[in-house]
Amino acid sequence: MQSIQVGTAPQRVLATGAALADVDTDDLLWSRQLDTERPIGSIAKVMTALVVLESGDLNQQIRIPKAVIAYVTKYQGESGGLRPGDVLTVSELLEALLLASACDAAYVLATTYGPGIPAFLAKMNAMALRLGMTHTQFTSPDGLPYPSEYSTYSTPADLLTLGLAAMKLPAFRSIVDQRFYNLPKSRGLHHAYWWGNTNYLIGSYQGATGIKTGYTDAAKHCLLFEAVRHGTTLLGVVLGSPDTGPAAGAQAAAKLLDWGFGLKQLPASG
């Protein structure tokens, strides 16, 4: 990806680190602290999904273990409300992981596909290196801040690489552009579940197609995102947006996208 010179810069993008690229031309349109390592929160779940999608049968059934309750409680992570004893497919767990940012789903997938979290983390970091993400490290499958707030980190440049890789996969794309996912009760298998998308761009920003939110106290609001208008695909990331509310990352991303589509002389409102 090559950086190009443009006449203007986006204004009032509230983010410590950020980048925006044109997927079709492979041009980096704008960046801020492109190679600075920062915590990324639940954007880490994108890599978790990539490892699972590379490794397994999406129809494989997995029984939810009791340990998920203690895991989410210990780290105060977002929960998809998974109930121990329920049996869900890998595909259904990915819906919870990517839409509701479910740390219990991340735990179940990591322990299954490692097998065990340490082995799964090794696979996450190996894939990062394979993709050329040399300024990225994963110490949890979900971005939760252990062993420290800064031990899982990446850069805007590396996250553009991750987003490009993820959105090439039809199974991944089909999940992240949904506003919600409803899983009816199945007798003998699982309770009913409803998972809403934590990405505020979906359903509110014209052409938004994904990708994933992130938040911790150290990371602040983060968003890896993509939008498509009139055949132009823009991919971007904002890291460290100030804590002004759950839509803070989406607001910063929308300003960046408006600017980017404006460069292409496309409609920017929506």
pLDDT tens readout for residues 232-256 = 999 999 999 998 887 899 999 999 9
Whether residue 269 is contained in a domain is answered as no
Find the helix or strand (DSSP H, E) in which 236 lies.
strand 232-241
| Residue 269's pLDDT band (cuts 50, 70, 90) | very low
Give the CA count within 13 Å in the CB-facing half-sphere of 50: 24
Over residues 53-86, the pLDDT tens digits come to 999 799 999 999 999 999 999 988 999 999 999 9
Question: How many structural domains is the chain composed of?
Answer: 1
Whether residue 54 is contained in a domain is answered as yes
Whether residue 103 is contained in a domain is answered as yes
Report the distance separating Cα 164 and Cα 241, nearest Å. 22
Better-predicted residue by pLDDT, 55 or 201:
201
Give me the pLDDT at residue 266, please: 52
Whether residue 156 is contained in a domain is answered as yes
Over residues 173-200, the pLDDT tens digits come to 999 999 999 999 999 999 999 999 999 9
**Cβ pair 213, 101 in contact under 8 A:** yes
What are the residues whose beta carbons fall under 8 Å from the beta carbon of 83, sequence distance 6 or more? 64, 190, 191
Type of residue at 242: P
β-pairing verdict for 180-183 and 153-154 = unpaired
**Cβ pair 158, 134 in contact under 8 A:** yes
Whether residue 268 is contained in a domain is answered as no
Give me the pLDDT at residue 7, please: 62
| Residue 270's pLDDT band (cuts 50, 70, 90) | very low
Residues noted as catalytic? 42, 45, 101
Whether residue 270 is contained in a domain is answered as no
Q: What's this model's pTM, rounded to 2 decimal places?
A: 0.95
131's tokens: 């993709």
What are the residues whose beta carbons fall under 8 Å from the beta carbon of 148, sequence distance 6 or more? none
Type of residue at 244: T
Report the distance separating Cα 139 and Cα 122, nearest Å. 9
Report the distance separating Cα 143 and Cα 42, nearest Å. 5
Whether residue 129 is contained in a domain is answered as yes
In terms of Cα–Cα distance, which of 244, 221, 213 is closest to 103?
Answer: 213
User: Which domain CATH number covers 217?
Assistant: 3.40.710.10
Whether residue 145 is contained in a domain is answered as yes
Report the distance separating Cα 117 and Cα 134, nearest Å. 21
**Cβ pair 225, 247 in contact under 8 A:** no
**Domain of residue 210, residue span:** 2-263
In the predicted structure, residue 20 carries a pLDDT above the cut 70: yes
Report the distance separating Cα 67 and Cα 200, nearest Å. 31
In the predicted structure, residue 154 carries a pLDDT above the cut 90: yes
